[in-house]
Structure 1
Amino acid sequence: MLVVSAQHEITQRDLRNRSREIMDAVQNGQSFTVTRDGNRIGELIPLRRRRRFVPRGEFAAMSHTAPDISLDAFRSDQAATAEQEADDPYAR
């Protein structure tokens, strides 16, 4: 079990040697400040979970104030984007 000080500071060495234990704690909501030679150098914080779904009522309320979209302009934009070549330096 991971035990940290009240300040939740861990050394770079602790992070290296106990990374799985520390990452499990971060996944469970714990935050840490990482130190090297007694100096604070970074923070490990849990990512905020994004909602996957928006309730229908909320979507309808947001959509009510959205501007009208021209279907022809939308399709034209899609076609123009699809015609562009991929600019991916890793796709070889």
Structure 2
Amino acid sequence: MSAQPEINQRDLRNRSREIMDAIQGGQSFTVTRDGHPIGELIPLRRRRRFVSRHEFAAMSKTAPDLDLDAFRADQDATADTYLDDPYAR
């Protein structure tokens, strides 16, 4: 059994507005034809909203300080330190 509700082709045609409103609200559906799943209707990811400079500055004031030495040490520990060409044979 699928995790999302199934709708058949006829329901999709007859209840398209209701179904589109549900998708816009975050609901997903599996579309069936003759009892067999043929596709999925899923909501698109929502676009990120614009954050103004003032809002970003206010959020940044409460952000934790960055320890640049620890950050560099983490980079050095995970970065490949070999200078040879990885594509060389």
- The two structures have a TM-score, normalised by structure 1, of 0.50
2:37 aligned counterpart, secondary structure: strand
| In the alignment, structure 1 residue 17 sits paired with structure 2 residue 52 | no
Shift of 1:52: 3.3
Partners of 1:54 and 1:45 lie apart in 2 by 27
Q: Which amino acid aligns with 2:34?
A: D
Q: What corresponds to 1:74 in structure 2? A: none
TM-score by length of 2: 0.52
Describe how 1:1-92 pairs up with structure 2 within 5 A: 7-54=4-51, 56=53
1:7 positional shift: 4.2
C-alpha root-mean-square deviation of aligned residues, in Å? 2.0
C-alpha distance in 2 between matches for 1:52 and 1:35: 35
AA in 2 matched with 1:8: P
Aligned positions, number: 53
Range with greater deviation from structure 2 (34-43 or 48-57): 48-57
Structure 1: gaps (5+ residues):
1-5, 58-92
Q: Give the Cα separation in 2 of the matches to 1:52 and 1:38.
A: 40
Structure 2 unaligned segments of length 5 or more: list them. 57-89
> C-alpha distance in 2, partners of 1:41/1:12?
10
Distance in 1 between residues matched to 2:49 and 2:24, nearest whole Å: 18
Post-superposition shift, 1:50?
A: 1.3
Higher radius of gyration, 1 or 2 = 2
